[in-house]
Amino acid sequence: MFFAMSKGKSDAYKRSEVLQGTLDLMILNTLHAIGPLHGFGIARRLEQLSEHVLHLNEGTVYTSLLRLQQEGWIAAAWGASENNRKAKFYSITKSGLKQLAKETEDWERISGVIGRVLRLASEKS
């Protein structure tokens, strides 16, 4: 399981990079919560939800979308974007919902472990 980390920038300019496994989880959950979206819309929505802490380039998002589609966890269909341009819209599948539940459970378990490890120093005092 991967997570986001910031890379040596000052607090004023700190943005996090999202690592692969976590991005898949966030994309699946976004499609489940919002419904079909095109890749650019997914990237911008995740940035908005993170209050612009996360920065997602389209290449990273599209790589994740391709992988999720190959796994059968999302489906794609062509449609018109808000600008009336041709765009591929992605939606979560039944197997994607099952994967989302599994990945959510895994994330909660791993983040709980990380939380316990981070509290070690405060428990020592």
Q: Is 71 left (phi over 0), alpha (psi -120 to 50) or beta?
A: alpha
Q: Is the pLDDT of residue 17 over 80?
A: no
First to last CA, the chain: 30
Q: What is the pLDDT of residues 56-95, one digit of tens each?
A: 888 889 999 999 999 999 999 999 988 999 999 999 999 9
pTM attached to this predicted model: 0.81
Q: From CA 110, how far away is CA 3, in angstroms rounded?
A: 10
The DSSP code sequence of 26-80 is HHHHHHHHH--EEHHHHHHHHHHHTTT-B---HHHHHHHHHHHHHHTSEEEEEEE
- Please report, for the chain, the start and end positions of each structural domain, with discontinuous segments joined by +: 20-107
Task: Please tell us whether the domain made up of 20-107 is placed in CATH 1.10.10.10.
Answer: yes
Q: What is the pLDDT of residues 26-42, one digit of tens each?
A: 999 999 999 999 999 99
Confidence of residue 13 (pLDDT cuts 50, 70, 90): very low
pLDDT at 12: 42
